[in-house]
Amino acid sequence: MSTSHSAHGTSHYGEPGAHHEPVPVDPEHDIDAKSATWWVVGGTVVLFVSLWLMVPIFVRVQEAERRQKVDQAPNVELQETLAAERRFLEGANPTKKSIDSVIAQRTGK
């Protein structure tokens, strides 16, 4: 690959080792530490205030959905599971002891 040369024998890229002038500092487009700090702190405050407001709303919606879909719905599986657990705790288990008798035995009453 060859580079094109001008009429004076120099390439378009200038003399070997030559560099362009450094770009002057542009104060209007530089990052200002004070401004950046305020943006970060402000963004953090907005994030936590948003979470502080949204999490209780989310929890209420989740509880309402759970009540509607699990507790109040005709859920046969849930009712069967609760009944089986109740029977197990009342003595339908391998030891044939109810939960009340086990607790009384453990506490010494």
Distances, alpha carbon 3 to alpha carbons 16, 22, 105, in Å: 13, 25, 97
Q: What is the rounded CA–CA span in Å between residue 104 and residue 109?
A: 5
Tens of pLDDT along the chain (109 residues) come to 555 555 555 555 556 676 777 677 776 777 778 888 999 999 999 999 999 999 999 999 999 998 888 777 777 787 888 889 888 888 888 888 888 888 888 888 7
Closest CA to 99 of 83, 86, 108: 86
Tell me, what's the pLDDT at 58? 97
Q: pTM above 0.75?
A: no
Spans of all domains in the chain: 33-73, 74-109
